Amino acid sequence: MNMMKHLNEAMQYIEDHLCEEINFDHLSRIACCSEYHFRRIFSYVAGMSLSEYIRKRKLSYAAAILQSGNEKIIDIALRLGYESPDAFSKAFQAMHGVSPSHARKDAVMLKTFPPLTFQLTLRGGSEMNYRIVEKGKFYMMGAVGRIPLIYNGPNPHTADVWRKLRQEDLLVLTEYSQIEPRGILNAYTNYEDKHTEGTELDLFVGIAMEDPMPDRFKTRFDVLPVEASTWAVFTTIEKKPFETQETWGRISSEWFPTSGYEMTKGPEILWYESFDFSKPDFKTEIWIPIRKLNG
């Protein structure tokens, strides 16, 4: 299956339907992957969410219409899916710096936002080490907290979740960690919007267990059930700051488009060999739930 071809056909579908409501179920069928997977790949490759891209393409198209014709602003607004001329005007001015009516005047400077396409590029041939793991249903026991999504650099809010676990809690959790991945883990799930930085998600800090949490711990710890899945496990040796974070982005932008797999909606798990971040060359593992693509 030519994944790159299908992704570009999906982009062309968006372009052909800018003036209609985008059918995301149909879009995902064209891309031969789930909507979730397509959105995730797009956000990593484009550096913006799919919804932001569509909004910018519509407003770029609107600028061209305004400068080349006499169509009423209210008609353009409704054709592009805005509920009112006022909502359209605010969005237009936010992007172009001028109102739609002002855009019709001569010598007004407007912004263009060309369509995007997926292309195969050479990035230096950096290897990624991974393995495929089949894993039955398991449970995570620990503490959960809501944090903002930060793509680049450290996320200071993770410390707020870690502080929910006392030293004696960590000792208990370590004792009950008996299945892979072993040790204290970070699991990321329940995203508000997985493609927009600053939106919120749940960070679950805890251990993986084969059996449900014992009753005696139910008032002490939170629990996260994790459904049976196939997992792609990527190993990184941290030789420079945020190398694991960089690998996470490369998984979506480089590995998935040619892997024959798509990601599913289970939690993404991060395992650290050591939480002494000053230690050189420590190992990390990124566990991502996947399934084979159809076709």
Residue 258's CATH number: 3.20.80.10
Residue 139 domain-assigned?
yes
Q: Which of 117, 120, 5, 149 is nearest to 53 (CA)?
A: 117
Q: Which of 4, 26, 22 is nearest to 14 (CA)?
A: 22
Residues 49 and 170 both lie in one domain: no
Chosen domain end from 54, 86, 102:
102
**Residue that is written with structure tokens 């797009």 in the block:** 42
Residues 156 and 72 both lie in one domain: no
Q: Which of 263, 3, 251, 28 is nearest to 119 (CA)?
A: 3
Residue 113 domain-assigned?
no
Residue 279's identity, in one-letter code, is: K
What is the pLDDT, as a whole number, of residue 122? 44
Residue 110 domain-assigned?
no
What is the pLDDT, as a whole number, of residue 238? 75
- Gyration radius (Cα) of the chain, Å: 23
User: CA 170, 173, 174, 180 torsion: positive or negative?
Assistant: negative
- Provide the residue-wise pLDDT of the chain in tens; the chain has 295 residues: 567 788 889 999 999 998 888 899 899 889 888 888 888 778 777 778 888 899 999 998 888 888 777 788 898 889 898 988 899 999 999 988 888 888 877 667 778 788 888 765 545 446 678 888 999 999 999 999 999 987 767 788 999 999 999 999 999 999 999 899 999 999 999 887 766 667 889 999 999 999 988 899 999 999 999 999 999 999 888 776 677 888 887 787 778 877 778 888 889 999 988 666 566 677 889 999 998 887 5
Residues 274 and 227 both lie in one domain: yes
Residue 114 domain-assigned?
no
Q: Which residues pair with 286 in a beta bridge?
A: 234, 270
Q: What is the spatial distance between Cα 119 and Cα 132, in angstroms, rounded to a whole number?
A: 26
The domain that holds 86 is classified in CATH as 1.10.10.60
Residue 76's identity, in one-letter code, is: I
Instruction: Provide the domain limits for residue 54.
Output: 3-102
Q: Which of 274, 277, 136 is nearest to 208 (CA)?
A: 136
Residue 176 domain-assigned?
yes
Q: What is the dihedral of CA 243, 180, 253, 151, to 10 degrees?
A: -50
Q: What is the dihedral of CA 212, 213, 214, 220, to 10 degrees?
A: -170
Residue 107 domain-assigned?
no
Q: What is the spatial distance between Cα 113 and Cα 132, in angstroms, rounded to a whole number?
A: 39
What is the pLDDT, as a whole number, of residue 278? 66
Residue 112 domain-assigned?
no
pTM recorded for the entire structure: 0.66
Chosen domain end from 102, 120, 138:
102
Cβ contacts of 276 within 8 Å, gap of 6 or more: 282
Q: What is the spatial distance between Cα 7 and Cα 76, in angstroms, rounded to a whole number?
A: 28
3-state secondary structure 187-251: EEECCCCCCCCCCEEEEEEEEEECCCCCHHHCCCCEEEEECCEEEEEEEEECCCCCHHHHHHHHH
Residues 78 and 142 both lie in one domain: no
What is the pLDDT, as a whole number, of residue 124? 45
Q: Which two tokens stand for residue 221?
A: 């710890």
Q: What is the spatial distance between Cα 88 and Cα 196, in angstroms, rounded to a whole number?
A: 22
What is the pLDDT, as a whole number, of residue 224? 95
Domain count, the chain: 2
Q: Which two tokens stand for residue 99?
A: 């109102």
The beta strands (E) that lie in the chain are given as 129-135, 138-148, 185-189, 200-209, 222-226, 229-237, 261-263, 268-272, 283-292
